[in-house]
Structure 1
Amino acid sequence: MEGEIHIISMLVRNRSGVLSRVAGVFGRLGYNIESLCVAETTNPKISRITLVSRANSDFTEKIKKYLDRLVDVIEVTELGQGQSVQREMILLGIDMNPENRKEIVQAIAMFGCRIVSIKEDYCIIESVGNREETETILKYFEPIGIRELARTGLIALQQKKNGNDDER
């Protein structure tokens, strides 16, 4: 889908069916969810949903209007680049051989990655960074050969918080 990337952070009640209703709003309005991360906050009765979608500029007000109508949604915020800290974790499964082993080890050090599993002919690399950093790592390892890839999707927190919003 064309358009700009929108990162939406929501605080919701930690109840059965809430995620389904939130995803249903996006589906009914024709928006694809590019990534989604959900977990409890410091208050186990509240979960944070971090959702990434791509859409035109009227997206935020339109989607916020519909999400605010859902009973279990406490807060909906769009997080911009300058006002939030954003991270994604990736796990890469890379085939290793005597010819590429040195290059892989050097790249891991250069990018600040971590080897979480290593065998003679295969390793799993972990990296955490912002979206641009993880994309750079993926582009670097693509010609070497990525056998498997798993990614968390984006997580983000707004920078300007005073106090603990998880306690609502």
Structure 2
Amino acid sequence: MSILPPPALRHITDLTVTLDPIRHMGSGRAGTRRIIPIVGGAAQGPLINGKILNVGADWQTQFASGLTELDTRYAIETDDGATIEIQNYGYRHGPAEVLDALVRGEDVPPDAYYMRTHARLETGDERYAWVNQTLFVGNGARLNGLVQMSLFAID
């Protein structure tokens, strides 16, 4: 049996996601739960440009191991008037001292920890219908009050 070639990645957009303060929920069934409202931001890239709408949040679960499960849903309004929903699921983990620095709002180099996602985008706008049948992966960084994420189509 031959091994198929790995899929190619195509850069779609870079997201700067503005966050409201964390709402701590306490311990849930699987770990410590929290909600981080997504209140704005921008999308800039070769295929999607616009603003991030104030309509979403990241529902996180933090595990005792230090792993944080990311589960976001939000939307972009493109510069040409389309609305694109993003559902983004992923993981963030790293050395305890690095994660503690992130919690304190300190600048931490993105390569000091792991923050990766897979995303599904959806729209009813025909100009962007291709997002409805494409899978995406993301590479992210957590900053004080912001998340930066680069999204790539899996070709």
* TM-score (norm: length of structure 2): 0.24
- Higher share of residues assigned strand: 2
TM-score using structure 1 length: 0.23
Higher normalized contact order (CA 8 Å, seq sep 6+, divided by chain length): 1
